[in-house]
Amino acid sequence: MFKTIKDLPRDEYLAPGHRLCAGCTVGTAVRQILKASGGNVVVVTATSCLEVSTSYFPQTAWRVPWIHLGFENSAAVAAGIESALKALRKKGKSNEDFHVMVISGDGGTFDIGIQALSGALERGHDLLYICYDNEAYMNTGIQRSSATPYAAATTTSPPGARSIGQRTHKKDLVGIAIAHGIPYAATACPSYPIDLMNKVRKGLDVEGPSLLHVLTPCTTGWRFDPSLGIEIGRLAVLTGLWPLYEVDRGVTRLTVQVPKREPVRKYLELQGRFKHISENEINKIQEIADKNAEKFGLGPIKE
Amino acid sequence: MKRVALSGNYAVAYAVKMADVDVIAAYPITPQTPIVEKLSEFVADGLLDAEYINVESEHSALSACIGSSLTGARTFTATSSQGLAYMHEVLFMASSLRTSIVMANVNRALSHPLNIWNDHSDAMAERDVGWIQFWVNSVQEAFDATIQAFKIAEEVLLPVMINLDGFILSHINEVLILPDEELVREFIPSKPLFNRLSPKLAYTIGVVGPPEYYYEMRYQIIDAIERSRKNINEVNREFGELFGRTYGNISTYMMEDADYALITMGAVSSTAKIVVDSLRKEGEKVGLISIRCFRPFPKNDIIEVFEDVKSIGVLDRALTPGGIGHPLFTEIVTTLYDSSKIIPVQSFVGGLGGRDITIDDFKQMYKIIKDVGLSGRRKPCIYIGLRE
Same fold, B2-243 and B250-383: yes
Report how far residue B58's alpha carbon sits from residue B175's, in angstroms, rounded to the nearest whole number.
Answer: 31
Read off the pLDDT band of A153 (50, 70, 90): very high
**Is there a contact between B377 and B344 (Cβ–Cβ < 8 Å)?**
yes
Residue A27: strand, helix, or coil:
helix
Residues 6+ apart with CB under 8 A from A119: A75, A76, A79, B55, B56, B57, B60
The answer, yes or no, to whether the previous bond of A263 is cis (omega within 30 of 0) is no
Name the residue ranges covered by the structural domains of chain B.
2-243, 250-383
Pairing of strands B160-165, B102-107: parallel
The secondary structure of B116-170 as a DSSP string is -S--SHHHHTTTTSS-EEEE-SSHHHHHHHHHHHHHHHHHHT--EEEEEETTTTT
B49, B51, B59 ranked by CB distance to A73: nearest: B59
Average pLDDT over residues A52-64: 97
Distances (CA, A) of A129 to A71, A90, B26, B27, B326: 15, 24, 22, 23, 45
**Is there a contact between A65 and B197 (Cβ–Cβ < 8 Å)?**
yes
Report how far residue A194's alpha carbon sits from residue A255's, in angstroms, rounded to the nearest whole number.
Answer: 11
Look up the CATH number of domain B2-243. Answer: 3.40.50.970
**Considering only A72-76, A194-198, B85-89, B384-388, which range has the smallest mean pLDDT?**
B384-388
- pLDDT of amino acid B388: 83
Report the run of H or E that residue A116 belongs to, with start and end: helix A114-123
Q: Does A152 touch chain B (CB under 8 A)?
A: no
**Is there a contact between B62 and B77 (Cβ–Cβ < 8 Å)?**
yes
- Quickly name the fold that domain A5-296 has: Rossmann fold (3.40.50)
**Is there a contact between A132 and A50 (Cβ–Cβ < 8 Å)?**
yes
Chain A: residue whose CA lies nearest to B77: A80
CA torsion, ordered B167, B169, B175, B181, to nearest 10 deg: -110
Asked if the model's pLDDT at residue B246 lies above 90, the reply is yes
Please, which residues 65-84 of chain B have a Cβ atom closer than 8 Å to chain A? 65-73, 75
Q: Does A124 touch chain B (CB under 8 A)?
A: no
Distance from CA of A73 to the nearest CA of B (A): 6
Q: B250-383: what CATH class?
A: alpha beta
Strands in A37-194 per DSSP E = 41-44, 66-67, 99-105, 128-133, 159-160, 163-164, 184-188
Please name which of A165, A31, A46, A184 lies closest in space to residue A114, comparing C-alpha atoms: A46
Read off the pLDDT band of A220 (50, 70, 90): very high
Q: Does B204 touch chain A (CB under 8 A)?
A: yes
DSSP alpha helices (H): ranges in chain B?
A: 8-18, 33-44, 58-70, 81-86, 88-96, 121-124, 139-156, 181-187, 211-243, 269-281, 299-305, 327-337, 359-375
What does the pLDDT look like over B137-158, one tens digit per residue? 999 999 999 999 999 999 999 9
Q: What is the ipTM of this complex?
A: 0.97
Q: Does B16 touch chain A (CB under 8 A)?
A: no
What does the pLDDT look like over A98-115, one tens digit per residue? 999 999 999 999 999 999
Helix, strand counts (H, E) of chain A? 11, 10
